Amino acid sequence: MGLAAGKEILDKASAEGYAVGAFNINNMEILQAVVAAADKERSPVMIAVSECAIKYAGIDYISSMARTAADSTDVPIALHLDHGQHFEVILQCIRHGFTSVMIDASHFPLEENIAATKRVVEVAHPLGISVEAELGRLQGVEDNVSVAERDAILVNPKEAQFFVTETQVDFLAPAIGTSHGAFKFKGKAELESRDSRRRKG
């Protein structure tokens, strides 16, 4: 079938009311397991790859394996860069056939985050590549991204709307109380919602 754009997969999921799993892979065996499960369940999937995984396995191997996996099934599969923090790595992924990239400039002030995200959107969108961005800070550790609890900042919905309008990003990862990596197994996640904000107020 070939790789599908992340936006194409997520737009259909949004319209039809179902979730899509995004699974980070580091090697062939993990990729094979994810695709076999997606094929068995007839469920679209996002194959996510971190900058560290690219450094570990090599982008040529990862992109070739993902294309082979996508050609082995008729279930839609996107190849997605997760938490891309370096513009040169994002360009490398685009050149190697990734169908979705994430620019994570959430550690910058809002204006700088917007500027960095727009730069990626301007390169990716003309090529039909979806762009994800992150707003706010999530507690915990994921790949080489670490955020202490005192630095975790929840997203203001109006700011999120402004961010999406300004950047024209395809999808957004907002900090709403979720946690990353090993932290997700410690304590109870407190997700921010309208109701929880009312109770605090």
Catalytic (active-site) positions:
82
182-186: long-range contacts, CB 8 A cutoff, minimum separation 24: 182/140, 182/141, 183/139, 183/140, 183/141, 184/140
DSSP lists the bridge partners of residue 23 as 47
CB neighbour class for 169 (10 Å; exposed up to 12, middle 13-18, buried from 19): buried
Q: Which two tokens stand for residue 106?
A: 């959430």
Strand partners, 135: 174
Q: Which of 147, 119, 145 is nearest to 131 (CA)?
A: 119
